Amino acid sequence: MDIAKKCGAEVLGTFWLTFGGCGSAVLAAKFLAMEGQTPLNLGIGLVGVSLAFGLTVLTMAYSIGHISGCHLNPAVSLGLLFAKRFPSSEFVPYVISQVVGASLGAGLLYVIANGQPGFEVGGFACNGYDAHSPGNYSMMACFVAEVVLTFFFLFIILGATDKRAPAGFAPIAIGLGLTLIHLIGIPVTNLSVNPARSTGPALVVQDWALQQLWLFWVAPLLGAALAGLAYPQLSREER
């Protein structure tokens, strides 16, 4: 497959992940409607947002997996590179495409969200630590969580896409895996495990979000690299 087509698929896929996942948090997580004089909380909450992120990956895996592999995440590309399943020559183009897609997704989300009267950008689904962690978790706790959760996300991806795994079910395992990881990690960091997903909203919020963005590049990339090294060792068949 031509690299331009692969990168185009990664732009679209990462756009959908950011727009769909972060959009569920910004637009639908806390949605109040009025029935007469009674306010109704129709928001989807943490569980809904977690499921939304998982569904974006599941739907794109079936849509573009055969085109680009559906990485949608620099950490996934790095983990596959370390596992020797992805050529190093395509790593930088993939990462650029993923960041572009996430930035476009966050930009369109801002345009839509800003159409509501009284809208304030607030956290805008950004990832953060200390005072900007949803649960006020420390920088170290957030760093460890992002490393560990990214490690297991990549481990799921590597196992589900192994040639010895049941064919056709990888997107389901990966989508559900990302859902589970969000259920664990949203209270800690708003969950990243994806530097591109973190970068898009941070470019909208700027200020503290850009200052803390380093953690959401370093920790996921570290976790992914460790998984990329560990899985081949564990899965290697004895001869």
Long-range contacts of residues 203-210, Cβ cutoff 8 Å, at least 24 apart: 203/103, 203/106, 203/107, 204/106, 204/107, 204/109, 204/110, 204/121, 204/124, 205/121, 205/123, 205/124, 205/126, 208/128, 208/132, 209/124, 209/126, 209/127, 209/128, 209/132
CATH topology of domain 3-235: Glycerol uptake facilitator protein (1.20.1080)
Domain ranges, ordered by start, for the chain: 3-235
Q: How confident is the model at residue 30 (pLDDT cuts 50, 70, 90)?
A: confident
Enter the pTM of the model: 0.94
What is the pLDDT at residue 47?
96
Residue 239 has pLDDT above 50, yes or no: no
Measured distance CA(144)–CA(150) in Å, rounded: 10
pLDDT digits (tens, 9 = 90+) for 65-102: 999 999 999 999 999 999 999 999 999 999 999 999 99
